Amino acid sequence: VGDLLEEYPTDSITLIRLNGLLHSDDNCASKTLVAVDPTVVQNLIIYNLSPQDADQLLEKRVRSRFSHRKILFLPPSREEVDSLLEHLPSLPADSSFPSGYVSQFNEKIKNITSDPRFKDMLRTFLNANSTVNSLLKFIFRAVSSMNLESGILSLETFKAALSSMQRQPKLEAVRDCSILELYLLVCMRRLEVKEQSLYNFISVMKEYKTIHDSFQTSDHYAQNVCLRAFEHLREREVICYAENRGQSQTGEYRPMKLLILASELHQGMRSHACCP
């Protein structure tokens, strides 16, 4: 590594990141750097390869040590999103458009992005998909639906873009649910948050009882009524059986899963006519 630093002094970041290619023994706290052929390291620098590509250049016996590794791509922070929204839709000052139009256009963008209604709309959108790519698609759709006569973006164009990117049928299904059905959907979502991957009607009812006991709600229904509501949700394809196995079991004991996203449930409940 020292020799490579002398030969490629501007690529110290690559070498530092290369040291992240560590494997650890489950039985000890220390970490050991895997022995890598110097040619591999050199190729990473010369061809500008990322350390994640290094495993493809290693011997098979060494590569197996990285088989359990996962690469996680975190969504952009709120500050990064705000920065993107400030720069991406804006027109550059040295563009071929008239200077008066550029300043008017950019001032309108600032007004829209600072509007609380836009921030609330953006929060709803990012809850469903918080990747930079989805944000670019959102901005592109807004620009594509811009009024060509005025040539200026508006809050309505962003609303239209959001509406075109959402899965409306699922939202409508949630809006049309009864209060009891909403309770059951919330219970299933709470079980998922608790990392309970498989749950059935019995476990959902236990969660329902927990909510009722904790918040002392007046919305308390008998188990047979809840079972009918549960079946109604399945018929409307808001939930479904998690697997085909266990068909001999009664419906109360078969594992289920939600067919709606957390953001869709949240938005559907917010727009529900009488959600408590």
Domain CATH code at residue 265: 1.10.10.10
Q: How confident is the model over 120-169, as pLDDT tens digits? A: 888 878 876 777 888 888 888 888 888 888 888 888 888 888 877 765 66
Question: Residue 151: its pLDDT value, please?
Answer: 87
Report how many domains make up the chain.
Answer: 3
Last residue of a domain, one of 166, 199, 223: 166
The residue-averaged pLDDT of 77-96 equals: 83
Same domain for 97 and 69? Answer: no
**Is 15 within 8 Å of 46 (Cβ atoms)?**
no
Last residue of a domain, one of 145, 166, 187: 166
Q: Does residue 1 or residue 106 have the better pLDDT? A: 106
Same domain for 54 and 89? Answer: no
The reply to whether 194 falls in a domain is yes
Same domain for 176 and 267? Answer: yes
Q: Which of 183, 275, 273 is nearest to 226 (CA)?
A: 183
The model's confidence at residue 17, banded by pLDDT at 50, 70 and 90, is low
Last residue of a domain, one of 14, 46, 73: 73
103/168 Cα distance (integer angstroms): 36
Question: Residue 252: its pLDDT value, please?
Answer: 81
Q: How confident is the model over 172-224, as pLDDT tens digits? A: 788 888 889 999 999 999 998 888 878 889 999 999 988 888 887 777 888 89
The reply to whether 276 falls in a domain is no
Same domain for 17 and 102? Answer: no
Same domain for 94 and 136? Answer: yes
**Is 211 within 8 Å of 221 (Cβ atoms)?**
no
200/276 Cα distance (integer angstroms): 25
Same domain for 67 and 40? Answer: yes
Is the predicted pLDDT of residue 50 greater than 80, yes or no?
no
Question: Residue 26: its pLDDT value, please?
Answer: 42
The model's confidence at residue 77, banded by pLDDT at 50, 70 and 90, is confident
Same domain for 176 and 265? Answer: yes
The model's confidence at residue 9, banded by pLDDT at 50, 70 and 90, is low
Question: Residue 57: its pLDDT value, please?
Answer: 55
Question: Residue 68: its pLDDT value, please?
Answer: 62
Same domain for 148 and 92? Answer: yes
Question: Residue 61: its pLDDT value, please?
Answer: 55
Same domain for 264 and 182? Answer: yes
The reply to whether 199 falls in a domain is yes
Least confident of 32-46, 73-87, 173-187: 32-46
Same domain for 110 and 156? Answer: yes
The reply to whether 30 falls in a domain is yes
Is the predicted pLDDT of residue 51 greater than 70, yes or no?
no
268/271 Cα distance (integer angstroms): 5
Q: Does residue 52 or residue 209 have the better pLDDT? A: 209
Question: Residue 185: its pLDDT value, please?
Answer: 92
User: Which residues lie across from 240 on neighbouring strands?
Assistant: 257
Same domain for 176 and 119? Answer: no
The reply to whether 63 falls in a domain is yes
Task: Tell how many helices (H) and how many strands (E) occur in the chain.
Answer: 14, 4
From residue 180, how far is each of 57, 221, 233 by CA, in Å? 57, 8, 11
User: With pLDDT > 90 as the criterion, what percentage of the chain qualifies?
Assistant: 11
The reply to whether 8 falls in a domain is yes
The reply to whether 97 falls in a domain is yes
Same domain for 179 and 266? Answer: yes
Selection from 19-23, 98-102, 124-128, 194-198 with the highest mean pLDDT: 98-102
Least confident of 60-64, 103-107, 214-218, 221-225: 60-64
Q: Which domain holds residue 46?
A: 1-73
